[in-house]
Amino acid sequence: MASAATRAAGLEVEDRSGVVHLTLSRPEKRNALSESLLGAIEEVLPVIANDASARVVVIGARGPVFCSGHDLGEMSGRSEADYRGLFARCSRVMLGLRRLPQPVIARVQGVATAAGCQLVAACDLAVAAEQATFATPGVKIGLFCTTPMVPLVRAVPDKAALEMLFTGAPISAQRARELGLVNRVVPIGELDQAVDEFVAAIQAQSPTVIALGKRAFYDLRELDEPAAYERAVDVMTANALQYDAQEGIAAFLQKRPPRWAERQGGAS
C-alpha cells in the first residue's frame, strides 16, 4: 500500500489487521501539509477504498505537533494556477476522507492548526490528548482559513467557528470536545487505548452497513428535512434487503452473534 515515494513525502502507511494507519511523518516541519504529502495522501485513499480487508483508518502524526497546516515555505510568491492547484488538491484529500467507505479516526496528540484543524474536522471521529490544541490562525497572516472553514462549520456551531476564524486564537482539547470537534479527550498515555476502543466497536459491526451508513450520513445532512426522509427511505429499504440486515435480524431473534459478510472493495 505504501511506496518509497509515499514515505519520502512524509507519509507512513501501515495496515494492522484491517486498521490502516496513516501517519504524518514530517515532525521537523511540524507535519505541514506540503504538496508532496498531500499528493501521497491523495494517492493512497483510492487504494484503501478498494481494499475490502480495510475496516478502519486512523490518521496520526509523529512528534509533538499533529499538523500545522499548509507548508508556508512553499506558498510565497506563487502563481494563481499554483495556489488554485494546491487548495484544490487539499480539498480533494479532505473530500476523499469523507468518501472513504471506512470510518476515519483522527488521533490528535498535539497542535492542529489551519489545514491541520481542517484535517481533524474532516475525519469522522477524533480522539485528542489533553494537551492538544486547535486553531484556524490564517487571519493572523492575512490568509483567511476559508478551505479549513468548510468542514469546521459542519463540525461546530457557527459562533464558535467564527470566533476561531476571526481571532485565530487556539482552543483547548476540552473546548474542542464541548463544541463537537473531537469525540473524546484523554491523557496522552491513554490516547491509543481510546482510539482502539472506537476501532473495536466499529470492527464488531457489518462493514457493508457501516459503509452504507457513512455515505448516507453525509448525503442526508446536505438535504432539507423532507428530501432527507425521502432519501433515507430509499437507503433503509435497500439496506433491509441486504444479507447483513437479514442476518442481523435473524441473529437477534435466535440470540446468537451475527456472521457478517465481507465488504466488497470499492469506494462508496
- The predicted structure's pLDDT at residue 263: 80
- The predicted structure's pLDDT at residue 113: 98
- The predicted structure's pLDDT at residue 167: 98
Residue 34: DSSP 8-state? -
Tell the residue number behind the cell numbers 501517519, with chain if given.
23
- The predicted structure's pLDDT at residue 2: 62
| C-alpha–C-alpha distance, residues 138 and 151, integer Å | 16
B/e letters for 128-146, b = 16+ CB within 10 Å, e = fewer, are: bbeebbbbbbbeeeeeebe
- The predicted structure's pLDDT at residue 262: 84
Nearest to residue 59, comparing CAs of 169, 182, 174, 178? 182
Q: What are the helix (H) ranges across 55-145?
A: 80-99, 115-122
Sign for the CA dihedral angle at 140, 11, 95, 128 comes to negative
- The predicted structure's pLDDT at residue 7: 86
Average pLDDT across the chain, whole number: 95
Q: Give domain limits for the chain.
A: 4-203, 207-254
Region of residue 202 (left: phi > 0; alpha: psi -120 to 50; beta: else): alpha
CATH fit for domain 207-254, picks 1.20.120, 3.30.43, 1.10.12, 2.40.128:
1.10.12
DSSP helix/strand/coil, 108:
strand
Q: Residues 24-67: pLDDT tens digits?
A: 999 999 999 999 999 999 999 999 999 999 999 999 999 999 99
Of the pLDDT bands very low, low, confident and very high (cuts 50, 70, 90), residue 267 is low
- Supply angle C-alpha 181, 101, 130, rounded to 5: 25
CATH fit for domain 4-203, picks 3.90.850.10, 2.102.10.10, 3.40.50.620, 3.90.226.10:
3.90.226.10
- The predicted structure's pLDDT at residue 266: 66
**Joined grid coordinates for residue 212:** 452504507
| C-alpha–C-alpha distance, residues 133 and 208, integer Å | 35
pLDDT greater than 70 at residue 218? yes
Q: Average pLDDT of 229-238?
A: 94
Q: Average pLDDT of 95-124?
A: 98
- The predicted structure's pLDDT at residue 5: 78
Q: Average pLDDT of 221-232?
A: 94
